[in-house]
Amino acid sequence: MAATVPLRRDVPIEHTWDASSVFASDTQWEEAIAKVHADLAGVSKFHGHITTSAAALLAWFTLQEDLIRQVMHIWIYASMFHEVDTADGSAAAKQARASGLYAKFAAATAFAEPELLAAPPETLESLRADPSLSVYGHYFDELLRRKEHVRSAEVEEVLGLAMEPFETASGIHGILSDADLKFEPKSGPLEQEITQGTIGTLLSSPDRETRRIAWETYSDAYLAHKHSMAACIAAGIQQNVLRARVHRYSSSLEAALAPGNIPTQVFHSLIDAFKRRLPLWHRYWDLRRRALKVDKLHVYDIKAPLSQANPSISFEQSMKWICEGMAPLGTAYVEAMRRGVAEQRWVDKFPNHGKRMGAFSSGSQGTHPFILMSYDDSIYDLSTLAHELGHSMHSYHTWQTQPPAYADYGMFVAEVASNFNQALVRDYLFKTQLDRDFQIALIEEAMANFHRYFFIMPTLARFELEIHERVERGEALTADTLIDLMAALFAEGYGDKVEFDKERIGITWAEFPTHLYSNFYVYQYATGIAGAHALAEGVAAGTPGAKDRYLDFLRAGSSRYELDVLKSAGVDLSTPVPVEKAFDSLAGMVDRLESLLF
């Protein structure tokens, strides 16, 4: 009999995140929506007037920032119900209303940047020089940098209105994946029910048959809906191409990287380094095969435990070790993190039916950071918790420090903060948990993290680039062509060291219903882990100034360009050096694992 996963209504409240800290009730949420509608009605009075004086522009910025704060709180509250139970119709309706409100806000405020850029240069320079607007200096720099890509107020308004319908493709894919797919083993039930929240645990089972059944069942569920999901992702890519062309970018890749002022060469340099280092992955697959004593390694063996005593780690123990591991950043950092989890209920902890796959951190200025995950007492979920707390503490420091104009940050820096926490906690555990089996498990966790960020994600990035380029050339995307492309890319990565099941490996793209709709997001996992390891090395070693530089990085928000913020912290991701050094660290992990196993 498979261990059952609870329904959402049966999850104890202390294990859930605290939506009431955002709005005390649905009634208060409805009142906030009504207020936004009323405030949006007053936006029109600013049309044609925001450049008439510094006072007028400051009044506009103040209103706009207040609106985005209100809209984000409304959206976050709705998402906190929908993400934990995607089959709940009332929660889905909340989410749809919040998304529609955001689109209305985007459309109503779309006139502002075109109007600013239409002002005579001397007017803009005069406004920028006014002391009351001094905080917006970087905003003006950023606006002028994008000038040739900002369209008329009418065009930007249409794009704003299109935000909600443009979310349909990813929304359908997500609902299929999280709510409608049925994972029913053909070979009989497993000891644990297969859900989005338990698949990781099952693929880490010491029993090979359990892993095989779980992997095949999971893949087959996606294959059964491959045409629907292919139609969704094709629509998502077409939308990216449309937006890039409307904003006059030469490619979807350039359009995706331009907001962060990141040269496309950073993307291509990562992919080149990844392809050069594929033999290291081939070596690791063979090491796993030998350690597991199997004739041929399968994909479902990649997370199989190599130790006979894989540690079981409670959520409370994980938090204790994470706090101890992050101690080099100081008492204030650790206490804010501990209080957030233990007292303020930042984390929605455990699996339940309908809960969205994976893990993430969310929130906005004026709320707590919030984390969704499906903790399962494994060393992998200790690492996931550390990762998401890295995101949350990045947000916490930014929101505490920056004005509303810079209270967000790009994904390029976000993945540095999350992987930094994993690296620092892992370093602490390597130094304090000296049992051989624990050391092996810790290396396996590190390798699983590298596998996701330095193997899966670069492979998905190559896939993403190719499907965008196909659409840009006018070619069609179908389920079979997507499977063929994905399978071909993984064939390079696995070489002749992994048994190849083309259809099940080729459907991997469908198993990422969020990432591949986020427009060249996935490559940033790899650059992020490279930057994180470089910065964590200095902090762990107690290098003078390293801690303070890192905390300044967390506080920077979007007040400077992302590459510049990282350079100030001590790593230059505009060059391939950090990526190559991270691959060297990965090679060292493989060496260390081999020495422990043989």
The closest of 562, 557, 568 to 402, measured between CA atoms, is 557
* Residue with the two structure tokens 């060291």: 497
What pLDDT sits at residue 28?
98
Question: How does 143-152 read in b/e, with b if 16+ C-beta sit within 10 Å?
Answer: beeeeeebbe
pLDDT for 514 equals 83
The reported pLDDT for the residue numbered 2 is: 52
State whether the Cα torsion 549-550-556-562 is positive or negative: positive
Burial class (CB in 10 A: 0-12, 13-18, 19+), 449: buried
DSSP state letters, 88-138? -HHHHHHHHHHHHHHHHHHHHTTTHHHHHHHS-HHHHHHHHHSGGGGGGHH
Exposure of 55 by Cβ count < 10 A (0-12 exposed, 13-18 middle, 19+ buried)? exposed
Q: Given the residues 388, 445, 537, 562, select the one marked as catalytic.
A: 388
Task: Let me know: does 563 contact 262? Beta carbons within 8 Å.
Answer: yes
Give the DSSP H/E element, type plus range, for residue 44.
Answer: none
Domains of the chain: 8-163 (1.20.140.70), 315-430+522-571 (no CATH)
For the beta sheet containing 370-372, the strands, ordered from the edge strand earlier in sequence to the opposite edge, are: 347-348, 370-372, 360-362
> Which whole-number Å values give the CA distances from 469 to 237, 273, 473, 539, 587, in the listed order?
10, 21, 6, 41, 33
What is the structure's pLDDT at 175?
87
Pick left, alpha or beta for residue 330 (phi over 0 → left; psi -120 to 50 → alpha; otherwise beta): left
Start-to-end Cα distance in the chain = 37
101: CB partners within 8 A, 6+ apart: 33, 36, 37, 71, 74, 75
444 included as an active-site residue = no
Per residue of the chain (598 residues), what is the pLDDT tens digit? 356 889 999 999 999 999 999 999 999 999 999 999 999 999 999 999 999 999 999 999 999 999 999 999 999 999 999 999 998 999 999 999 999 999 999 999 999 999 999 999 999 999 999 999 999 999 999 999 999 998 988 988 888 888 888 888 888 998 888 888 989 888 766 878 888 888 988 999 999 999 999 999 999 999 999 999 999 999 999 999 999 999 999 999 999 999 899 999 999 999 999 999 999 999 999 999 999 999 999 999 999 999 878 899 999 999 999 999 999 999 999 999 999 999 999 999 999 999 988 899 999 999 999 999 999 999 999 999 999 999 999 999 999 999 999 999 998 999 999 999 999 999 999 999 999 999 999 999 999 999 999 999 999 999 999 999 999 999 999 999 999 999 999 999 999 999 999 999 999 999 998 888 888 999 999 999 999 999 999 999 999 999 999 999 999 999 999 999 999 999 999 999 999 999 999 999 999 999 999 9
Q: What is the dihedral of CA 104, 105, 111, 112, to 10 degrees?
A: 180
Q: Are strands 360-362 and 370-372 parallel, antiparallel or unpaired?
A: antiparallel
Indicate the residue type of 300. Answer: Y
